[in-house]
Amino acid sequence: MKKIERNNISYYEQRKNIGINEMSNQQIAVQMENITKTFGSVIANKNVDLEIRNGEILSLLGENGSGKTTLMNMLSGIYAPDEGRIFVNGEEVRIKSPRDAYELGIGMVHQHYKLIDVLTATENIILGLDGKLNIKEATAQIKEICDRYGFDVDPNQKVYDMSVSQKQTIEIVKMLYRKAQILILDEPTAVLTPQETDKLFDVLRNMRNDGKAIVIITHKMHEVESLSDRVAVLRSGELIGYLVTKETNATEMTNMMVGKSVSLNITRREPVDPKDRVIVSGINVVSEDGIQKLKDVSFTVRSGEILGIAGISGCGQKELLEAIAGLQPTQSGSIKFVNDDGSEEELLGMSPTQITEKGVKLSFVPEDRLGMGLVGNMDITDNIMLRSFRRGKAPIADRKFSRNLAGEIVDDLQVVTPNLQTPIRRLSGGNVQKVLVGREISTSPKVLMTAYAVRGLDINSSYAIYDQINLQKEKGCAVVYVGEDLDVLLELADRILVLCAGQVSGIVDGRTIDKNTLGMLMTKVGGEKSNE
Amino acid sequence: MIGAFIHSTVLQGIPLMYGCTGEIITQKSGNLNLGLPGVMYVGGISGVIGAFLYEQSLKGSDPNGFLIIVIPLLCSLLGSLVMGLIYSFLVVTLRANQNVTGLAMTTFGVGIGNFFGGSISKLAGAESTSINLTLTSNYFRAHLPFADGMGDFGEVIFSYGFLTYLAIIIAIGAYVVFNKTRVGLHLRAVGESPATADAAGISVTKYKYLATCIGCVIAGFGGLHYVMEYANGMWSNDAFGDRGWLAIALVIFAVWKPNIGILASIFFGGLYILKDWSNSSGVLSEFLKMVPYLVTFVVLIITSMRKKREYQPPESLGVNYFREDR
């Protein structure tokens, strides 16, 4: 372990100290200057200046798509910045690969762990390093690191036998074994239970006290409050500002995170004669890894109304919609569909086919368009047929119906396509989505559920989709709209249900609620009230 | 009698062992080389061409003991190496479909073998498409002199040419490399998850190329062993048969472990010659001919039923790797 300690006060640090005597004991580990990164026409980061200090835990706070991960990926060698400079320990550096990052003492733990299942913890940790293979010595060193920071790891355990939290520990130990001085964790608690989270935080505090610089990317307010020393807030790729955790509060941070409302001029008519259509009560979903994805979720969807669902991604939106669509097994609860005459059908436990056979007209526009929604290599007609292949006299499918419908959808929604025979993957994202939405609403559904329906779409396609959703609402369809853009939700939805960590954080009126309150509900169950 | 049976069993098993070890090394890198049968053909015929040309150049004088071994060996190595390079280039660099490429390589390799086999037979003035390289074969089959005086024991252990022992040494060597060295660890990582290996700074392309080419060279020696040691220097078109496919099946049987591959190959060698040693006729004889394939069938069913993670193929086997938008 001596080696690592020596490395802590590196040669660069010592040199730098000669020049900057007045620096406090909190030296700057990384300085990012004027960083800009674009992907095509999308700006991921714009003129960001960031300072990471030794002996400090910095939280990088921001909504989905605010550029937190991209910014950190530039430190870990995954992306190179288009503009700007990076200094590590006072020296300007170019980080071209993860290996360069290791050599500079920067280690990043990604959301998706990069581990090889059939290898042991030790083998995974030493993977890619040079020199003679000496498992025994490596194991001894790993044990030392674990003892020092309080990790609980069996170096000889195979990765496929490990829990998610153990895998994460291996990733962190891997960085420490490579003598990382600057440790970046991308949403480390997303997959952990509360107990595991506490354990992780203890370890991170140990590392901070050991003089390491730690960055955690997160959007969970209570974690920021309990763990970090400083907070850097990002919004739409720009650094909004720094806050010292002790001197701020959740409201201030949330306001910085969500920003001011922007008017979008989306039409929203008053719901006509809303009636209960789907009654969800007490839904619980536990994932295969034992993580509670939905906890006691209850709400009602009404006809002629749009129910928006807001929340940070991964808070149970996918599980919720899939549970209603009959794709997600649930542990308990009930989902009742109310017919026009008031009679009720229990949907829980039924497959999508059974739901259709019951005469329940349910349409689902899933998040994963070309995976769950459509088949990329098939043309528009065939994709339409996925919903209507049972028509016609078996065994011959009724292609004519689908072909006509495909033509109608292309005309009505102005899908830009060379012809109906073009494979769907060749169309742009907006046109793909139009085909999917067109197919789903063509059955004149009683319930329409959409998940991130405008993600990745340009502004015109987005409005075309909003129009279709509004049209369904006017026809008396009960619409569930899962969105990530709060401004859209505020103008489109009649009521907004906010999910936070799988729980209903609140159900609010879309016309009266303001963006900041919504932001608070998203980051903390119950919003501001639970702040005290 | 039993000594002679084991002797034949081992001789039958060695070409399979070369093929099996070579294919294991290739598959560990994530490349499913179905071109193996073709590679073994090319390895065989390349050696035959080298030996034939050398024997022709002698014009009746005594051969040089070193050259008569090294020339066929080098020719075989070069032939299989070219096959390995073609496969790697198509699959790793151009990212062609592995199955299609492999099957094409097999058709190609077998064709090359038969084409040159036929041409050389014509050159040698033989009646049929076969050629006899007894002189070279004698050197390849030379064994330790004291083996003959040791009865069954000598026959079972010491009575083979050097290629037989080389096969076992290579298989053990591969086992050691996989399990005891960093190169082995990195190779396994590349085959399991190229993305992870890439992120750890391992050159995926380099490992895939090297593993495929080295695997092909080793498999090619199997073809050479078959001609020079097993068939006493006799090349006949199509005589090598479907040993290449059996070798691929053996990889699964050996659960990607070269040490198990040694035993598995010899076991299959025994099944192969069961018919010749059983004195049977009629239906039984036909059935015994079928036994190796029947056992392959059963083995594949059993191995596919084993659920333990260590027995599974490398996770990225058959899937080409590219970094996508990185």
Per residue in B11-67, pLDDT (tens digit) is: 999 999 999 999 999 999 999 999 999 999 999 999 999 999 999 898 878 888 899
Preferred mutation among A117, A118, A119, A120 to probe B, highest tally of B CBs within 10 A: A118
Q: A265-361+445-453+473-532, which class in CATH?
A: alpha beta
Judge whether A96 and A254 are in contact, CB under 8 Å.
no
Q: What are phi and psi of B220, to 5 degrees?
A: -60, -35
Task: Give the separation between CA A472 and CA A444, rounded to whole angstroms.
Answer: 8
Task: Give the separation between CA A220 and CA A231, rounded to whole angstroms.
Answer: 12
**Which residues of chain B make contact with A102, given a CB cutoff of 8 A?**
201
**Which residues of chain A make contact with B206, given a CB cutoff of 8 A?**
none
Q: Measure B326 CA to nearest chain A CA, in Å.
A: 7
Residue-wise pLDDT tens digits, A266-311: 888 888 888 899 999 999 998 877 778 899 999 999 999 999 999 8
Supply the Cα-derived Rg of chain A in whole angstroms.
Answer: 26
CB pair distance less than 8 Å for A119 and B188? yes
Q: What average pLDDT does chain A have? A: 85
**Which residues of chain A make contact with B180, given a CB cutoff of 8 A?**
133
CB pair distance less than 8 Å for A127 and B185? yes
Task: Give the separation between CA A4 and CA A211, rounded to whole angstroms.
Answer: 12
What is the pLDDT, as a whole number, of residue A253? 85
What is the pLDDT, as a whole number, of residue A1? 36
Q: Measure A522 CA to nearest chain B CA, in Å.
A: 32
pLDDT for A9 beyond 70: no
How many CB atoms neighbour CB B238 within 10 A?
12
Which residue is listed with tokens 């028509």? Answer: A391
The two three-digit tokens of residue A12, written as one number = 């660069």
| B180 touches A at CB < 8 Å | yes
What is the pLDDT, as a whole number, of residue B198? 87
Give the domain range for residue B231.
2-325
**Which residues of chain B make contact with A114, given a CB cutoff of 8 A?**
193, 195-196, 199-200
Judge whether A491 and A268 are in contact, CB under 8 Å.
yes
Instruction: Report the phi/psi class of residue A455: left, alpha or beta, with left for phi > 0 and alpha for psi in -120 to 50.
Output: beta
Residue B185 belongs to domain with CATH number: 1.10.3470
Q: Measure B11 CA to nearest chain A CA, in Å.
A: 35
Of B185, B186, B309, the CB nearest to A117: B309
Under the banding of pLDDT at 50, 70 and 90, the label for residue A191 is confident
Residue-wise pLDDT tens digits, B224-245: 999 999 999 999 888 888 899 9
Judge whether B140 and B163 are in contact, CB under 8 Å.
yes
pLDDT for A7 beyond 50: no
| A80 touches B at CB < 8 Å | no
CB pair distance less than 8 Å for A128 and B193? no
CB pair distance less than 8 Å for A130 and B188? no
CB pair distance less than 8 Å for B200 and A78? no
Over residues A461-479, mean pLDDT: 90
Residue B179's closest chain A neighbor by CA?
A: A133
**By mean pLDDT, which of A484-493, A522-531, B193-202 is the weakest?**
A522-531
CB pair distance less than 8 Å for A114 and B200? yes
DSSP B89: I
CB pair distance less than 8 Å for B197 and A131? no
Judged by DSSP in three states, A310 sits in strand
What is the pLDDT, as a whole number, of residue A288? 78
Over residues A46-50, mean pLDDT: 92
Residues 205-224 of chain A with CB under 8 A from chain B are none
Beta-carbon pairs below 8 A across chains A and B? 57
Over residues A520-532, mean pLDDT: 65
What is the pLDDT, as a whole number, of residue B122? 86
Under the banding of pLDDT at 50, 70 and 90, the label for residue A97 is confident
Question: A265-361+445-453+473-532: same fold as A9-105+181-258?
Answer: yes
Judge whether A15 and A32 are in contact, CB under 8 Å.
no
Q: Identify the helix (H) or strand (E) that includes residue B54.
A: helix B36-58
Judge whether A505 and A498 are in contact, CB under 8 Å.
yes
Judged by DSSP in three states, A30 sits in strand
**Could you tell me the CA-to-CA distances from A292 to A76, A288, A319, A499, B146 in Å, in that order?**
31, 9, 11, 13, 73
Map out the domains of chain A as residue ranges: 9-105+181-258, 113-179, 265-361+445-453+473-532, 367-443
Under the banding of pLDDT at 50, 70 and 90, the label for residue A196 is confident
Burial status of residue A418 (CB atoms within 10 A of its CB: 0-12, 13-18, 19 or more): exposed
Judged by DSSP in three states, A263 sits in coil
The two three-digit tokens of residue B151, written as one number = 């009865």
Length of chain B: 326
Residue B228: HSE in the Cβ half-sphere, 13 Å Cα cutoff: 37
Q: Measure B23 CA to nearest chain A CA, in Å.
A: 20
Over residues B274-301, mean pLDDT: 84
Task: Give the separation between CA A426 and CA A416, rounded to whole angstroms.
Answer: 11
Closest CA to A98 of A90, A86, A110, A82: A110
Task: Give the separation between CA A530 and CA A1, rounded to whole angstroms.
Answer: 44
DSSP A245: G
Task: Give the separation between CA A84 and CA A524, rounded to whole angstroms.
Answer: 35
Q: Measure B229 CA to nearest chain A CA, in Å.
A: 38
Contacts of B10 (CB under 8 A, 6+ apart): B156, B160, B164, B266, B269
Q: Measure A218 CA to nearest chain B CA, in Å.
A: 23
Q: Measure A129 CA to nearest chain B CA, in Å.
A: 8
What is the number of structural domains in chain B? 1
Burial status of residue B164 (CB atoms within 10 A of its CB: 0-12, 13-18, 19 or more): buried
Judge whether B135 and B63 are in contact, CB under 8 Å.
yes
Under the banding of pLDDT at 50, 70 and 90, the label for residue A2 is very low
Closest CA to A372 of A427, A322, A307, A412: A322
| A375 touches B at CB < 8 Å | no
Residue A3: HSE in the Cβ half-sphere, 13 Å Cα cutoff: 8
CB pair distance less than 8 Å for A127 and B315? no
Q: Is the peptide bond before A395 cis (omega within 30 degrees of 0)?
A: yes
The model scores a pTM over 0.95:
no
**Which residues of chain A make contact with B28, given a CB cutoff of 8 A?**
none
Residue B78: HSE in the Cβ half-sphere, 13 Å Cα cutoff: 11
Over residues A225-250, mean pLDDT: 89
Task: Give the separation between CA A126 and CA A148, rounded to whole angstroms.
Answer: 19
| B181 touches A at CB < 8 Å | yes
Residue-wise pLDDT tens digits, A343-388: 888 888 888 888 888 888 889 999 888 888 899 889 999 998 888 7
| B186 touches A at CB < 8 Å | yes
| A138 touches B at CB < 8 Å | no
CB pair distance less than 8 Å for B199 and A158? no
**Which residues of chain A make contact with B179, given a CB cutoff of 8 A?**
none
Q: Is the pLDDT higher at B113 or at A265? A: B113
ipTM for the predicted complex comes to 0.85
CB pair distance less than 8 Å for B189 and A160? no
Q: Measure A143 CA to nearest chain B CA, in Å.
A: 20
What is the pLDDT, as a whole number, of residue A10? 41
**Which residues of chain A make contact with B309, given a CB cutoff of 8 A?**
117-118, 158, 160
What is the pLDDT, as a whole number, of residue A26? 61
The two three-digit tokens of residue B262, written as one number = 């040694």
pLDDT for A337 beyond 50: yes
Under the banding of pLDDT at 50, 70 and 90, the label for residue A65 is confident
The CATH fold assigned to A9-105+181-258 is Rossmann fold (3.40.50)
Under the banding of pLDDT at 50, 70 and 90, the label for residue A11 is very low
How many CB atoms neighbour CB B148 within 10 A?
12
pLDDT for A501 beyond 60: yes
Over residues B109-117, mean pLDDT: 94
**Which residues of chain A make contact with B200, given a CB cutoff of 8 A?**
98, 114, 127-128
| CA A290 to centroid of chain Cα atoms | 19
| B317 touches A at CB < 8 Å | no
Over residues B264-293, mean pLDDT: 87
How many CB atoms neighbour CB A85 within 10 A?
13
Burial status of residue A273 (CB atoms within 10 A of its CB: 0-12, 13-18, 19 or more): exposed
Under the banding of pLDDT at 50, 70 and 90, the label for residue A527 is low
What is the pLDDT, as a whole number, of residue B47? 95
